Structure 1
């Protein structure tokens, strides 16, 4: 079932790079820029998350928190975070449950049977827990419109 703007964002509980379980509820009180990436350490995902890292203070000043999710395990995510000095959580949805809950599952990545990943997507969850903005790409090489995201937050 596709999520739409105005729907309540599905809750999650996922491990971060230090194996600490993180929940959607812990970020309440701010807007949440929830970004799903295709694969840790892939070039386009690295570019995307570095762009969010470099926009961190601007996005934070707009009252928002960035949270990234990949279907990679916490150890692959940790290497990716350490290499790039990301200043926001990267959570491991290694069984793709949250990816399915947000209806952004991309099965058979690169035509490899059962290699599931997340479609590159961004949801902005408002302070009331509802989705205020949604962008989902069928093309794993397409990055989100960062200016549009900042304009929405403003």
Structure 2
């Protein structure tokens, strides 16, 4: 389990252009890791669009948003292009990083074997330590965006 004060687990995940991206490439910046349940689902769309719309505020605080789901790069690309996301969307199609952060939600919507990430936020500081954590047991609950912004200050 990853908690506040822990080093954020490193990952290497595919982006929407089939490029492998690592958490360590963002070292020296604050990072908002937003694990979302499923590309193009209603609540995830609202969440990812809220981060897009608050990008100026987040960027001014020296932070970078990274969206992560267990969707593949093609579903994530269609999602990112449709809503013009201004930050990376990464695919954890094997759910390894989701497991590393201990946020696996098995059998989403009671569909056997359909695993997803619990809707979760981890803020990582410039040195790679977790400074904020929020995990929802319900895929229908959005994070407190202002609380996330405040944690970046």
Query: What is the TM-score normalised by the length of structure 1?
Result: 0.98
**CA shift digits 1:54-111 (9 cap, x unpaired):** 0001100001000010000000000000000000000000000000000000000000
Name the residue aligned to 1:112. 111
Equivalenced residue count is 153
Give unmatched runs, 5+ long, in structure 2.
none
C-alpha displacement at 1:128, in angstroms?
Answer: 1.1
Alpha-carbon shift at residue 114 of structure 1 (Å) = 0.8
**TM-score of the aligned structures, taking structure 2 as reference length:** 0.99
Residue 3 of structure 1 deviates from its aligned partner by 1.1
Q: Distance in 1 between matches of 2:105 and 2:84?
A: 27
1:3-152 correspondence runs (5 A): 3-152=2-151
Measure the CA separation in 1 of the matches of 2:48 and 2:10: 22
Distance (whole Å) between structure 1 residues aligned to residue 62 and residue 86 of structure 2 = 15
Question: Within 2, Cα distance between the matches of 1:122 and 1:65?
Answer: 13
Root-mean-square deviation over aligned CA pairs: 0.4
Following TM superposition, by how much is the alpha carbon of 1:115 offset from its aligned partner in structure 2, in angstroms?
A: 0.3
**Separation in 2, partners of 1:11, 1:34:** 12
Gaps of 5+ in 1: none
Corresponding residue SS for 1:45: helix
Q: Distance in 2 between matches of 1:27 and 1:151?
A: 20
